[in-house]
Amino acid sequence: QVQLVESGGGSVQAGGSLRLSCAASGYTYSPYCMAWFRQAPGKEREGVATINRYHNTVYADSVEGRFTISIDNADNTLYLQMNSLKPEDTAMYYCVASRIRGGTCSPQSVRSSSKYWGQGTQVTVSS
């Protein structure tokens, strides 16, 4: 049974930084495609960034240049480094492990795939 446990959320002022972590367990192989999604109050869940086993990344336009997704394949730990945070980044952030085994790994492909979710970690950015 795959389990995803996020950590690292919190409150920060605009312009600050946070680093989220996600420990993935229960795998007998390295997951091919993992992602960070977020959901703000009253809004739909949004794909923020994806990374595949070969460290190819895709970012949402809203975070491009500010956020960096990375993964440690040795222990299947996923990270999201968030810099220059804005109040509009305030949301619950979720670690996602897609069940995609190959091909495109993007927020769009993860959204439409079968996947596992973490419980989420709250990020609050004040102005």
Tens digits of residue pLDDT in 27-64:
877 789 999 999 999 999 999 999 999 999 999 999 99
Whether the CA torsion 60, 21, 1, 39 is positive or negative: it is negative
Higher pLDDT, 26 or 78: 78
Mean pLDDT (the chain, rounded) = 95
Percent of the chain with pLDDT over 70: 100
Whether the CA torsion 61, 64, 68, 73 is positive or negative: it is positive
- What is the arithmetic mean of pLDDT over 79-91? 98
Dist CA 99 CA 22 (whole Å): 17
Dist CA 51 CA 70 (whole Å): 7
Structure tokens at 59: 């970012």
Per-residue pLDDT at 73:
86
Backbone angles phi, psi at 32, to 5 degrees: -75, -40
Lowest mean pLDDT among 58-67, 70-79, 90-99: 70-79
Buried-state track 15-38, b at ≥16 Cβ within 10 A, e below 16: eeebebbbebeeeeeebbbbbbbb
